[in-house]
Amino acid sequence: MAAVSIQLGAQDLAHYKKIVKELSSAKYQGRGYAEDGANKAGKWIAKEFEKVGADEVVCQPFKLDINTFPGKMEFSVDGKKQVPGVDFTLREFNPSCKGEYKLYYIDTLNYNSEKIFADLASEEYKGAYVVCDFMYSFKHRADFRKLQSKEGCSNSGLIYTWESPLKFYKAYGEVVREKPIIWVTPDFPMDAKTIKVDMENEFLKDYECFNVIAKVEGKRHDSCYVFTAHYDHLGKLGKKTYYPGAHDNASGTAAIITLASYYAKNQPEYDMYFIAFSGEDANLRGSEWYAEHPVAPLNQIKYLINLDMIADNNPVQYCEVSNEGMDGFAVFEKINAEKGYFKELHRGELAGNSDHYPFAQRNVPCIFLMNEDGDAFKFYHTIHDTWKNSIFTNYEPIFNIITDFIEIISD
């Protein structure tokens, strides 16, 4: 039996790699919302589910508001051009901005809020960009909230230094804020005098996305298992820079497609649903919509397994489990103890960090599997999350522990 499992895993590994490579390619421009990248990827995924033998594939539409940056993305410091995604990135809610600005540096050794606001109101620094370490700003977050507001202060924007490689987010991009925030690396020159910016945002109102839902029919239809992963990612930062999202989350999407292929060839006891969500990087919009509009009643779900960022090599598998999923997690632990797929299953606190969360909130038994702190994790949400930087060590252990789990609890 073990030999069969290894053979099946090896066979799926080639298909798995092919899917990750496809979804992280330039064809989909980071699977974001600008230039319809996510939707193009979703259409490809639907066809792939059909190819592997799913009995039914449907696309479930929903709408969201999202800020994007597909246009100009120019930033220079004292005349030196900066590279998007490498030297700088943006907050997801930034407006368009254009002009040349002085720089005002926060004195972190002798912090004085009254002096800061007085300086920024003076003719010398009026309209300047404020420069500060991002983590330090939390110590004086009330002051920095004022600096981010037009009514609070006359500065034109903020520049935060942050660890490299720089990360980009979309979760709070459903609105456009008043002032831009630019994240830069610790290499930002702290003696620079001026910056020039020409950055364009495009706010998409009621942008239509869709979840891809594939079904493999089981022998019984009174209950079901659900496998989920999000296929959307961060999209573009300017005309040329995009975020490939191989680890996050072409890896999880590829896994549920290969699981669908496996169960299409080996009819399961219960119906199986494989859901590729869009809108996850826009604050779990797709999974939240599905949880409110399920194809099959949520109370029929025997167990939901969510896969996010699994193309890595950490021998410790990170998990989150809903209260109702703890009995199932005990089975996962028993399987792992017997077969040694991972050094440990580390259960973290349940959080709203991926698509299992809307289901956990609705009392669905579920587990979230994510491989963090491996060699690929440092590239998470950066332009370096590429096919070449993907690591496939943990795909087969994840595939095998899942199929073992389903076999045991379906008996």
46 and 181 belong to one structural domain = no
CATH value at residue 174:
3.50.30.30
384 and 253 belong to one structural domain = yes
pLDDT of amino acid 4: 42
Q: Please state the domain count of the chain.
A: 2
pTM, rounded to two decimals: 0.95
216 and 193 belong to one structural domain = no
Q: Is residue 1 pLDDT above 60, yes or no?
A: no
Reported as a single tens digit per residue, the pLDDT across 152-210 is 899 999 999 999 999 999 999 999 999 999 999 999 999 999 999 999 999 999 999 99
Q: Is residue 7 pLDDT above 50, yes or no?
A: no
Q: Which of 199, 217, 244 is the last residue of a domain?
A: 199
pLDDT of amino acid 411: 77
pLDDT of amino acid 387: 95
pLDDT of amino acid 12: 87
Reported as a single tens digit per residue, the pLDDT across 49-63 is 999 999 999 999 999
280 and 404 belong to one structural domain = yes
Q: What is the mean pLDDT of the chain?
A: 95
Q: Which of 199, 217, 237 is the last residue of a domain?
A: 199
101 and 210 belong to one structural domain = no
Q: What percent of the chain has pLDDT over 90?
A: 95
Instruction: Give dist(CA 180, CA 145) in Å, integer.
Output: 13
Instruction: Give dist(CA 333, CA 339) in Å, integer.
Output: 10
209 and 178 belong to one structural domain = no
Reported as a single tens digit per residue, the pLDDT across 77-111 is 999 999 999 999 999 999 999 999 999 999 999 99
281 and 322 belong to one structural domain = yes
pLDDT of amino acid 6: 42
61 and 85 belong to one structural domain = no
Tokens representing residue 26 in the block: 């330039």
Mean of the pLDDT values across residues 354-378?
96
Q: Which of 199, 214, 238 is the last residue of a domain?
A: 199
Q: Which residue has the tokens 């039914």?
A: 56
CB atoms within 10 A of CB 171: 15
245 and 369 belong to one structural domain = yes
324 and 350 belong to one structural domain = yes
Residue 132: pLDDT band (50, 70, 90) is: very high
pLDDT of amino acid 151: 87
Contact, 379 vs 316, CB < 8 A?
no
Residue 2: pLDDT band (50, 70, 90) is: very low
Contact, 231 vs 19, CB < 8 A?
no
> Whole domain around residue 247: which residue ranges?
2-66+205-410
Tokens representing residue 2 in the block: 């073990």
pLDDT of amino acid 312: 93
pLDDT of amino acid 372: 87
Please tell me the least confidently modeled range out of 2-16, 177-191, 301-315, 389-403.
2-16
129 and 220 belong to one structural domain = no
CATH value at residue 343:
3.40.630.10
324 and 397 belong to one structural domain = yes
